[in-house]
Amino acid sequence: MISTYIQSERQTPTTGLTSDDLGHLRYFYEIATQPLDKWNGFLFPVNGVFSYAVRVQLSSASFAVAALASKTPAYREVYEKIMDCLIQRMLQRRTWSYWRYCSRNLDPIYKNNICYSAYLSNMIGLFEKLTNNDKYDDNFDLIWNKNTKFTYNHHTLSQRIYEQMVENHHHGVQCQLEFVFQACSNFAALSNILNDQLHGTDYSSVNPQWKKWARENYVNRKPFSKGILYFSYVEFLRKMLKSSENITDVGVLALATPVDWDIVIELYPRLAEIVTHVSEESAFIKSRPLDDFFEISNDSMTTSFGYLLARQMDDETLAEKFLNYADREFNPVLENGKLYYKNVRTQLFTTSLFAWGKVTSGRQFADLVQTKHDKAFFDLPFVSHVDYPDVYLKKADYNNESKVLTVVITPGDSRENTELTCSNITSIGSVQKDGVIYDSYKFENEYGRLKIYTGLESGHTFEIACQ
């Protein structure tokens, strides 16, 4: 089923957010919106090059928040704030300073380092697509010191990624240290898709060439050999590194669905090769201890990727086993409204993948990327403001056929009286609270704005008939 979250002609209501989803969202909010010079909750690894890097934590959180946002399509405020703050952190020198050890050119975008540039491009692309905020189409700076900075915008960033894909014989792009990782170059292809939708380019025209080369070179088709996918292509050797890692197999497949759905469908049955079943109710994907030492992967990362992948393949039995294992081994805790996995080294990454998987099934991730960006959607009635985190919003959905905006709120940090603001409303037929006609509101016709006043002793459902 094609996702309708971004279409103006919406007929299918969303299911909204569960208690788990709200807890994860609060966790991301607290992580992202702390002052930029504070990094509480982030892992700062020794080398900053491989999978534990800050940029990977930020990117995974951004995708998770985007997936959560798709569940409340008529409310964008808190997601916009979180995603913007994550992007701002991505631009901080502390996130990309590792590049000085990998290149003589300090610019982390100009050449290679696709595991930074494509991640940043996709964070910006999803931010603009979900919020209609194009602030990053204007120039922004990556500042090394008072004398050295690198200026880009979403256009020039995406263009630089595309140009490298065209120039390279394999049509992928290096990460660093001569490695071309399939997952990161898939993110380059994803950047092309988003930029085409937002800015009318034709960058995706190079994607089939990359997809063809990846299918022919990364897939391990040797009988009786270990692994689904090869680890990496090594540029200076012009050879494939024909070893396999569980993190590569499951990570590439989990993130590849918007770029090459068919190859994921083909290879998914082979996931059984790397799954360890602890019991009839529990399973995980093992990572080697040395991988954790070198900051490449750990069991929580591989298992969370497995969960996201199984959810996309509608394999609910295996997905439930992964989640059961995580509940037992990774210690999900609810602290001050924040739900996250505490008993893991990579808390933000692991929480992001599980949160992402919980709100994703079937083609929803692929559709989140591929569905046409429709600016008319942003002219429809929506909830423009609630006092988050005093108020949690579980559901916000506008049905363009019935002209009804449905909003479900629940107490967050407060149970005091509160105010909801809805915008893009030209006229009011009626307002119902919990199924009863309600009149404690103010309609500002000249601004198309409706303010609803309510107590918050418990959760409430509002149905606003917009004539």
Q: What is the 3-state secondary structure of the chain?
A: CCCCCCCCCCCCCCCCCCHHHHHHHHHHHHHHHCCCCCCCCCCCCCCCCCCCCHHHHHHHHHHHHHHHHCCCCCECHHHHHHHHHHHHHHCCHHHHHHHHHCCCCCCCCCCCCHHHHHHHHHHHHHHHHHHCCCHHHCCEEEEEECCEEEEECHHHHHHHHHHHHHHCCCCCCCCCCCEECHHHHHHHHHHHHHHHHHHCCCHHHHHHHHHHHHHHHCECCCCCCCCCECCEEECCCCEEECCCCHHHHHHHHHHCCCCCHHHHHHHHHHHHHHEEECCCCCEEECCCHHHHHCCCCCHHHHHHHHHHHHHHCCCHHHHHHHHHHHHHHCCEEEECCEEEECCCCCHHHHHHHHHHHHCCCCCHHHHHHHCCCCHHHHHCCEEEECCCCCEEEEEEEEECCCCEEEEEEEECCCCCCEEEEEECCCCCCEEEECCEECCCEEEEHHHCEEEEEECCCCCEEEEEECC
Prediction pTM value: 0.96
Give the pLDDT confidence score for residue 6 in this predicted structure: 34
Residue 425 pLDDT > 60: yes
Q: How confident is the model at residue 335 (pLDDT cuts 50, 70, 90)?
A: very high
Task: Please compute the mean of the pLDDT values over residues 362-377 and round it to a whole number.
Answer: 94
User: What pLDDT, on the 0 to 100 scale, is given for residue 7?
Assistant: 34
Mind listing the pLDDT tens digit for each residue in 16-61?
999 999 999 999 999 999 999 999 999 999 888 999 999 999 999 9
Q: Which domains does the chain have, with CATH numbers?
A: 19-373 (1.50.10.20), 380-465 (2.60.40)
Q: What is residue 11's predicted lDDT score, i.e. its pLDDT?
A: 36
* Residue 295 confidence class, pLDDT cut points 50, 70, 90: very high
pLDDT-derived band at 13 (thresholds 50, 70, 90) equals low
Q: What is the pLDDT of residues 193-234, one digit of tens each?
A: 999 999 999 999 999 999 999 999 999 999 888 999 999 999
**Per-residue pLDDT for 14 more than 80?**
no
